[in-house]
Chain A
Amino acid sequence: MNAARMMFSASLYIIVCSARNRIRVRLRRLREPRYLFGAIAGVAYFYFAFFSRVRAGRAGRRRRAAPMPSPDVMAALTASGPAAAGLLLMVVTTAFSALPVTSSLLVFSDAEIQFLFPAPVSRRQLLLHRMMRSQLGILFGIIVFSVIFPSASGYARLQTGISLWLLFATWRVYFAGISLARTRLTDRAASARRTAWTPMLVLVAALAVVAISVARAFATRPVESAQDVLSRLSEVAAIPVVRILLFPFVALVRPFFAEWPWPFVLALGPAALVLAAAIVWVLRTDEGFEEAATQASARQAAARQARIAPAPTARAVGWTLALSGPTEGLFLWKNAVQIARATTGLTLIRYAVPLALIVVSMSTSVMASRNAVGLAMALCSIAIYIAAFTVMLGPQIMRTDLRDDLRHLELLKTWPLRASAVIRGEMLFPGAVLTAIAWLALTCAAILSAAGFPRLSLAWRMSGALSALLLTPALVFAQLMVHNAAAVLFPAWVPLGTSRPRGVDAMGQRLILFGAVLLTLAVMMAPGLIVSAILWFAFYRFIGAAVLIPGAVICLVMVAAEVLTATEALGPAFERLDVTSIERVE
């Protein structure tokens, strides 16, 4: 057996066995109730979130007979679509080629590096193996997309799937070539440098020629309509030079626009040709393979490790642990130090940017629906959403408590501490931080409340704000209690550190846990709310809006009592908690 066939069969063996074993593991773990229930919840979620909506949408379309674009527009789209999409693809490809991003095709797993790199196989064969392995991921993504793709016919789904596969496969291979070329841009040998620079310079030059032609087409007279834009792009694409330069890009997108079945089949030929050309080019420019692959794999491994356990920095935190004091204080210090050292500007951006986007978009939608205007009103609305988001989702996101410290359970179990104090101590830091953030946002909202709620009197606004301030720690600590109770009672359900198990079953587990948290929160708040309601009916007529405040105080006190009682009750369960329930038996 020659080396190429040997590598091909070895590659196929790795891919098939890995895929088979991964499916087996996923199926085998369904024997455990937590994964079975999780899988049921996950499948149900998918069904209701996607499939039922797709079916309902289809039925709705049939009933409504949604208006189609005019025949002229459809004709223009069919005629000019490939040119416009090809042009877009060219621009995106050039932009990405200039970015210092390494192709994922050059990322090998640790096992691949250990087993295949020292094996008697060529670099080309290794690249072919990696290309073959990447197909599974592409195919899976495309199947999922094709299923949820809003389309009336199965053929259209098939056409979209095949077109997407050709596009993504070529895209990946091409960027592997670009990544390989990049490693030789500063090579000592002039010929190597020439070979490395050529594809990028050719691409930029091609884009420049096409851009000039497009600019000329649009500079002569103003644009009249979308149809006009498409027809002018079509004219540009028909220019012989531009046609040649755009060929690979247009060929890759043409299958999306071709009619089913024969025009589509005919469009596949040129697209396949482009893919084959990209593969040949990459296999011929494999000189910098080892360096590029090793660097890419190391970067990927570091990024993966950073996601599991971000590398902290030993910065001073200005808080020295006192040598005596309550257990809770010890955990407050430990978790505060952890956050202070784990949090970097980048981490803050990672959480702050999505949070800001969510809050701003939600606020904007509310403002729009109420026809509200004014900066003060907008800020008030944003502050309320920040507070609500922090209180309701903060305890789920901020896991610097027992959920994170299950990783250190072996160490915690050797400490001579009361288990209930450990649980309380673990909750203290995230609870304090979330409460502080929510309080800050609520204080801002209270200050701006005159603009945010112009119809409410000062008494109502201040009573409401004060009540919200009082209820915040109750809601935060009640939720943290449920999350930590879950960690003690069902440790196997809790992902360790920042790692997250994958799969529909794991997603279902998270949904179940979230539902359980909400349910428990409702149960915990119920006694306080009932007493508050009684107070309302008894005293509202005498003290008005101020009755909200004693109601909130009662809720806070009752939830505090419940949390204390629950942590005491969880103590024996923590004592019984076995490290083998969260780790494999040695």
Chain B
Amino acid sequence: MAFTVEHLRRVYGSLHAVDDLSFHVGEGEIVGLIGPNGAGKTTTLRCLAGILRPTAGRVRIDGHDIVEDPIEAKRRLAFMPDEPHLFEYLTVEEHLRLTARLYAVRDFEPRARALVEELELTGKEKSLPGELSRGMRQKVVIACGLVRDATTLLFDEPLTGLDPIGIRKMRETIVARGRAGAAILLSSHLLHLVEEICTRVIIMDRGRIVADGTFEELASRADLATIGSNLEQIFMRVTGRDTAT
């Protein structure tokens, strides 16, 4: 079932950050959300995560409305923001434990151990966020998101601050979660990453969707047919930044 967005709109004063957005991400799908700065990607993800209240429209996670039934919707959701927000007084281990309690994770201990190892946080379990590098803090946020079986994963620039090994592991982790059936929405400026791991791409500009489809679908669109199947070229064209035209 995964998640559905219907006519989502979010307004800040007179600014329409997100305007009439509709899309669906099914189980096992990894959808890339790309767009220029200020396109509304982060606002969209924050509305999906229940952080921002939509001005209009609906967001349903596995059929549960994020506004009307927030607890059930959030239970199925994991949001990994671009800026790692952690409690400065809780250690890495305590963050994982806190998450386990919040989401009623059953086999917490082996899961946490495996994740700590997978994300190369071994030896940092007793460290506070202030003692970790930005990349490490990002890994803690990701570990908290993955320690439970969320059916919907939202990643906002997940590779920011990670080292090359971390980037590689993160890529593998996202793909593995997608294969396991999670619906994944990934916002990133790294077009090669999106091209590599996403099964579909949504391009936003000025709060609206300007393109939505698989790479093949986008490449075969009449207005994009002449520029090839390179995502960067497609992105430039649909957002009007293609100076060659």
Given contacts A324-B101, A580-B12, contact A410 B70 (CB under 8 A): no
Given contacts A311-B130, A585-B13, contact A413 B51 (CB under 8 A): yes
Measured CA separation A341–B104 after assembly (Å)? 26
Given contacts A320-B97, A578-B53, contact A338 B70 (CB under 8 A): no
Given contacts A413-B51, A580-B52, A585-B12, contact A309 B88 (CB under 8 A): yes
Measured CA separation A576–B89 after assembly (Å)? 27
Measured CA separation A255–B200 after assembly (Å)? 80
> Which of A325, A338, A409, A411 makes the CB contact (< 8 A) with B89?
A338
Residue on A nearest B90 in the bound complex, by CB: A337
In the complex, per-residue mask of A398-436: 1 if CB is within 8 Å of any chain B CB, else 0? 000000000011110111111000000000000000000
In the complex the two chains form, is B52's CB within 8 Å of A330's CB?
no
In the complex the two chains form, is A334's CB within 8 Å of B49's CB?
no
Query: What is the count of residue pairs linking A and B with beta-carbon distances less than 8 angstroms?
Result: 88
B146 CB → nearest A CB, Å = 14
In the complex the two chains form, is A414's CB within 8 Å of B130's CB?
no
In the complex the two chains form, is B89's CB within 8 Å of A312's CB?
yes
Contacts of A413 in B (CB 8 A): 49-51
Measured CA separation A578–B73 after assembly (Å)? 18
Contacts of B46 in A (CB 8 A): 410, 579
Contacts of A325 in B (CB 8 A): 101
In the complex, per-residue mask of A559-586: 1 if CB is within 8 Å of any chain B CB, else 0? 0000000000000000110111000011
In the complex, per-residue mask of B126-146: 1 if CB is within 8 Å of any chain A CB, else 0? 111011000000000000000
In the complex the two chains form, is B128's CB within 8 Å of A312's CB?
yes
Contacts of A416 in B (CB 8 A): 70-75, 102-103
Scan residues 88-106 of chain B and give those whose CB is less than 8 A from a CB of chain A: 88-91, 94, 97-98, 100-105
A49 within 8 A of B: no
In the complex the two chains form, is B97's CB within 8 Å of A321's CB?
yes
In the complex the two chains form, is A418's CB within 8 Å of B71's CB?
yes
> Which of A324, A338, A580, A586 makes the CB contact (< 8 A) with B104?
A324
In the complex the two chains form, is A408's CB within 8 Å of B85's CB?
yes
Measured CA separation A136–B103 after assembly (Å)? 54
> Which of A321, A341, A579 makes the CB contact (< 8 A) with B52?
A579
Residue on B nearest A329 in the bound complex, by CB: B101
In the complex the two chains form, is B108's CB within 8 Å of A323's CB?
yes
> Which of B52, B72, B97, B128 makes the CB contact (< 8 A) with A323?
B97
Contacts of B17 in A (CB 8 A): 585
Interface size class of B (residues with CB under 8 A): 35 or more
Contacts of A323 in B (CB 8 A): 97, 100-101, 104-105, 108
Tally chain A residues at the interface, Cβ within 8 Å.
34
In the complex the two chains form, is B97's CB within 8 Å of A410's CB?
no
Residue on B nearest A419 in the bound complex, by CB: B70
A322 within 8 A of B: yes
Measured CA separation A255–B97 after assembly (Å)? 67
Measured CA separation A414–B59 after assembly (Å)? 14
Contacts of A312 in B (CB 8 A): 88-89, 128, 130
A577 CB → nearest B CB, Å = 9
Most chain B CB within a 10 A radius of its CB, from A322, A334, A416: A416
Measured CA separation A323–B93 after assembly (Å)? 13
Looking at chain B's contact residues, is the secondary structure mostly helix, strand, loop, or mixed? mixed
A272 within 8 A of B: no
Measured CA separation A559–B13 after assembly (Å)? 39
Residue on A nearest B126 in the bound complex, by CB: A314
In the complex, per-residue mask of A289-324: 1 if CB is within 8 Å of any chain B CB, else 0? 000000000000000000001011110000011111
B79 within 8 A of A: yes
Residue on A nearest B128 in the bound complex, by CB: A314
Given contacts A576-B53, A578-B53, A585-B15, contact A410 B71 (CB under 8 A): no
In the complex, per-residue mask of B65-84: 1 if CB is within 8 Å of any chain A CB, else 0? 00000111111010101000
B87 within 8 A of A: yes
Measured CA separation A413–B79 after assembly (Å)? 11
Contacts of B100 in A (CB 8 A): 323
B44 within 8 A of A: no
A83 CB → nearest B CB, Å = 54
A342 within 8 A of B: yes
B95 CB → nearest A CB, Å = 10
Measured CA separation A312–B126 after assembly (Å)? 13
Measured CA separation A342–B87 after assembly (Å)? 12
B42 within 8 A of A: yes
A414 CB → nearest B CB, Å = 5
Given contacts A314-B126, A323-B100, A325-B101, contact A410 B94 (CB under 8 A): no
Could you jot down 16 A-B contacts, CB within 8 Å?
A314-B126, A314-B128, A314-B131, A321-B98, A330-B98, A337-B90, A337-B94, A408-B87, A410-B81, A411-B85, A413-B50, A416-B70, A416-B72, A416-B75, A417-B71, A579-B46
Hey, which bits of chain B sit against chain A, CB under 8 A?
12-13, 15, 17, 42-43, 46, 49-53, 70-75, 77, 79, 81, 85, 87-91, 94, 97-98, 100-105, 108, 126-128, 130-131
Q: Which 8 residue pairs of A and B lie closest in terms of their CB atoms, listed nearest first? A: A416-B74, A338-B89, A416-B75, A585-B12, A341-B89, A416-B71, A413-B51, A314-B128
Hey, which bits of chain A sit against chain B, CB under 8 A?
309, 311-314, 320-325, 330, 334, 337-338, 341-342, 408-411, 413-418, 575-576, 578-580, 585-586
